[in-house]
Amino acid sequence: MIRRALVTGFEPFGENAANPSAELALSLDGETAGGLHIAGRVLPVEYGTSGDLLLGWIRDLRPERVICCGLASASRAIRVESIAFNLDDSPFPDNAGVVRENARICATAPDSLPATLPVERVITECSERGIPVDSSIDAGRYVCNHVFFRLMNEVLEARLPIAAGFIHLPPDLPLAVMREALHIALSTE
Ligand code: PCA
Protein backbone atom coordinates (compact mmCIF):
# COMPACT_ATOMS: atom_id res chain seq x y z
CA MET A 1 0.00 0.00 0.00
CA ILE A 2 1.28 3.45 -0.88
CA ARG A 3 1.69 5.67 2.17
CA ARG A 4 0.54 9.18 1.40
CA ALA A 5 0.69 12.78 2.54
CA LEU A 6 -1.55 15.63 1.40
CA VAL A 7 -0.28 19.20 1.02
CA THR A 8 -2.69 21.95 0.04
CA GLY A 9 -2.28 25.58 -1.01
CA PHE A 10 -4.81 28.26 -1.93
CA GLU A 11 -5.70 30.22 -5.04
CA PRO A 12 -4.88 33.96 -5.11
CA PHE A 13 -7.32 36.19 -3.19
CA GLY A 14 -7.94 39.85 -2.43
CA GLU A 15 -5.04 42.10 -3.40
CA ASN A 16 -2.64 39.19 -3.90
CA ALA A 17 -2.07 38.51 -7.60
CA ALA A 18 -0.35 35.20 -6.78
CA ASN A 19 -0.42 32.81 -3.87
CA PRO A 20 2.92 31.12 -3.04
CA SER A 21 1.05 28.34 -1.20
CA ALA A 22 -0.44 27.09 -4.50
CA GLU A 23 2.94 27.09 -6.23
CA LEU A 24 4.42 25.24 -3.25
CA ALA A 25 1.71 22.55 -3.13
CA LEU A 26 1.93 21.92 -6.88
CA SER A 27 5.74 21.77 -6.81
CA LEU A 28 5.58 19.03 -4.13
CA ASP A 29 2.95 16.96 -5.95
CA GLY A 30 4.39 13.54 -6.82
CA GLU A 31 7.47 13.87 -4.58
CA THR A 32 8.26 11.76 -1.53
CA ALA A 33 9.00 12.97 2.03
CA GLY A 34 9.51 10.82 5.11
CA GLY A 35 8.45 7.75 3.09
CA LEU A 36 5.15 9.39 2.16
CA HIS A 37 4.05 9.96 -1.43
CA ILE A 38 2.87 13.60 -1.61
CA ALA A 39 -0.36 14.71 -3.26
CA GLY A 40 -0.29 18.50 -3.79
CA ARG A 41 -3.66 20.21 -4.33
CA VAL A 42 -4.99 23.77 -4.56
CA LEU A 43 -8.10 24.95 -2.69
CA PRO A 44 -10.44 27.82 -3.62
CA VAL A 45 -10.50 30.72 -1.15
CA GLU A 46 -14.17 30.09 -0.35
CA TYR A 47 -15.77 29.28 2.99
CA GLY A 48 -18.54 27.33 1.27
CA THR A 49 -16.47 24.86 -0.77
CA SER A 50 -12.92 24.63 0.64
CA GLY A 51 -13.67 22.50 3.72
CA ASP A 52 -15.72 19.84 1.92
CA LEU A 53 -13.15 19.63 -0.89
CA LEU A 54 -10.36 19.05 1.62
CA LEU A 55 -12.31 16.38 3.53
CA GLY A 56 -13.13 14.64 0.23
CA TRP A 57 -9.44 14.45 -0.67
CA ILE A 58 -8.63 13.09 2.81
CA ARG A 59 -11.31 10.38 2.48
CA ASP A 60 -10.05 9.42 -1.01
CA LEU A 61 -6.30 9.52 -0.37
CA ARG A 62 -6.20 8.38 3.29
CA PRO A 63 -3.03 10.41 3.96
CA GLU A 64 -0.94 9.84 7.10
CA ARG A 65 -0.02 13.50 7.21
CA VAL A 66 -1.95 16.57 6.06
CA ILE A 67 -0.44 20.04 5.90
CA CYS A 68 -2.56 22.89 4.60
CA CYS A 69 -0.70 26.05 3.61
CA GLY A 70 -1.78 29.62 2.96
CA LEU A 71 -0.38 33.09 2.45
CA ALA A 72 -0.03 35.52 5.36
CA SER A 73 0.78 38.66 3.41
CA ALA A 74 1.95 40.68 6.43
CA SER A 75 4.25 37.97 7.77
CA ARG A 76 8.03 37.87 7.39
CA ALA A 77 8.59 34.28 8.53
CA ILE A 78 6.95 30.90 8.02
CA ARG A 79 4.34 30.48 10.77
CA VAL A 80 3.56 27.00 12.02
CA GLU A 81 0.05 27.26 13.46
CA SER A 82 -0.82 25.34 16.61
CA ILE A 83 -4.52 26.14 17.22
CA ALA A 84 -7.57 26.29 14.94
CA PHE A 85 -10.58 28.35 16.09
CA ASN A 86 -14.23 27.47 15.56
CA LEU A 87 -15.07 30.89 14.11
CA ASP A 88 -15.34 32.62 10.75
CA ASP A 89 -14.93 36.34 11.40
CA SER A 90 -13.45 38.68 8.80
CA PRO A 91 -14.62 41.86 7.06
CA PHE A 92 -12.98 40.63 3.84
CA PRO A 93 -15.12 38.76 1.29
CA ASP A 94 -13.90 35.37 0.08
CA ASN A 95 -13.44 34.70 -3.65
CA ALA A 96 -17.18 33.95 -3.98
CA GLY A 97 -18.00 37.37 -2.48
CA VAL A 98 -19.13 35.89 0.84
CA VAL A 99 -18.45 37.76 4.10
CA ARG A 100 -18.73 35.87 7.38
CA GLU A 101 -18.66 37.71 10.67
CA ASN A 102 -18.88 36.10 14.09
CA ALA A 103 -20.10 32.82 12.55
CA ARG A 104 -19.38 29.52 14.28
CA ILE A 105 -17.97 26.91 11.87
CA CYS A 106 -19.39 23.74 13.52
CA ALA A 107 -22.20 24.19 16.06
CA THR A 108 -21.36 21.05 18.03
CA ALA A 109 -17.54 21.24 17.93
CA PRO A 110 -15.22 22.71 20.60
CA ASP A 111 -14.23 26.41 20.43
CA SER A 112 -10.70 25.52 19.38
CA LEU A 113 -8.72 22.43 18.39
CA PRO A 114 -4.95 21.82 18.48
CA ALA A 115 -2.85 20.75 15.49
CA THR A 116 -1.61 17.17 15.73
CA LEU A 117 1.55 17.99 13.78
CA PRO A 118 4.64 18.01 16.07
CA VAL A 119 4.71 21.83 15.83
CA GLU A 120 7.59 22.46 18.25
CA ARG A 121 9.89 19.88 16.68
CA VAL A 122 9.13 21.15 13.16
CA ILE A 123 10.01 24.69 14.30
CA THR A 124 13.25 23.53 15.90
CA GLU A 125 14.30 21.59 12.79
CA CYS A 126 13.51 24.54 10.52
CA SER A 127 15.40 27.03 12.73
CA GLU A 128 18.43 24.74 12.88
CA ARG A 129 18.58 24.87 9.10
CA GLY A 130 18.35 28.66 9.05
CA ILE A 131 14.78 28.84 7.76
CA PRO A 132 12.90 31.90 9.12
CA VAL A 133 10.16 30.31 11.22
CA ASP A 134 7.86 31.24 14.11
CA SER A 135 5.24 29.51 16.16
CA SER A 136 1.75 30.98 15.97
CA ILE A 137 -1.42 30.58 18.00
CA ASP A 138 -3.54 32.68 15.65
CA ALA A 139 -4.29 31.61 12.09
CA GLY A 140 -6.75 34.51 11.69
CA ARG A 141 -10.49 34.00 11.28
CA TYR A 142 -10.61 33.99 7.46
CA VAL A 143 -10.55 31.04 5.03
CA CYS A 144 -7.19 29.61 6.20
CA ASN A 145 -8.43 29.20 9.76
CA HIS A 146 -11.72 27.85 8.38
CA VAL A 147 -9.94 25.07 6.48
CA PHE A 148 -7.58 24.41 9.43
CA PHE A 149 -10.56 24.04 11.78
CA ARG A 150 -12.44 21.74 9.38
CA LEU A 151 -9.27 19.63 9.12
CA MET A 152 -8.76 19.31 12.86
CA ASN A 153 -12.47 18.65 13.45
CA GLU A 154 -12.35 15.79 10.93
CA VAL A 155 -9.28 14.36 12.70
CA LEU A 156 -11.24 14.48 15.97
CA GLU A 157 -14.58 13.18 14.67
CA ALA A 158 -13.23 10.44 12.41
CA ARG A 159 -10.52 9.61 14.99
CA LEU A 160 -7.81 9.82 12.35
CA PRO A 161 -4.41 8.88 13.80
CA ILE A 162 -2.64 11.40 11.59
CA ALA A 163 -0.33 14.39 11.91
CA ALA A 164 -2.26 17.40 10.61
CA GLY A 165 -1.69 21.11 10.75
CA PHE A 166 -1.49 24.45 9.02
CA ILE A 167 1.47 26.55 7.85
CA HIS A 168 1.24 30.23 6.88
CA LEU A 169 3.81 31.49 4.38
CA PRO A 170 5.25 34.98 3.99
CA PRO A 171 4.87 36.62 0.56
CA ASP A 172 8.47 36.68 -0.63
CA LEU A 173 10.36 33.58 0.46
CA PRO A 174 12.16 31.65 -2.32
CA LEU A 175 10.31 28.50 -3.39
CA ALA A 176 13.35 26.36 -2.46
CA VAL A 177 13.17 27.54 1.17
CA MET A 178 9.42 26.89 1.42
CA ARG A 179 9.97 23.45 -0.11
CA GLU A 180 12.67 22.63 2.45
CA ALA A 181 10.35 23.70 5.28
CA LEU A 182 7.57 21.46 3.95
CA HIS A 183 9.91 18.49 3.57
CA ILE A 184 10.84 19.00 7.25
CA ALA A 185 7.18 19.36 8.29
CA LEU A 186 6.30 16.17 6.38
CA SER A 187 9.09 14.05 7.81
CA THR A 188 9.63 15.24 11.42
CA GLU A 189 8.29 12.69 13.90
N1 PCA B 1 -4.52 33.09 3.03
C2 PCA B 1 -5.80 33.49 3.57
C3 PCA B 1 -6.81 32.63 2.85
C4 PCA B 1 -6.11 32.02 1.70
C5 PCA B 1 -4.68 32.28 1.95
O6 PCA B 1 -3.74 31.85 1.25
C7 PCA B 1 -5.86 33.40 5.09
O8 PCA B 1 -4.81 33.58 5.76
O9 PCA B 1 -6.93 33.16 5.64
Q: Please confirm, yes or no, whether 168 is among the known catalytic residues.
A: yes
Q: At residue 64, does pLDDT exceed 90? A: yes
Q: At residue 1, does pLDDT exceed 90? A: no
pTM for this one? 0.98
- Tell me, using a 6 A CB cutoff, whether residue 144 lines ligand 1: yes
Question: pLDDT tens, 82-91?
Answer: 999 999 999 9
For the CA of 72, the closest atom of ligand 1 is: 8
Domain boundaries of the chain, sorted by first residue: 4-187
Question: pLDDT tens, 113-147?
Answer: 999 999 999 999 999 999 999 999 999 999 999 99
Residue whose Cα lies nearest atom 8 of ligand 1: it is: 144
- Which residue among 71, 79, 166 has the greatest number of ligand 1 atoms within 8 angstroms of its CB, and so is best to mutate? 71
Superfamily for domain range 4-187: Peptidase C15, pyroglutamyl peptidase I-like (3.40.630.20)
**How does DSSP assign 59-95, residue by residue?**
HHH--SEEEEEEE-TT-SSEEEE-EEES-EEESS--T
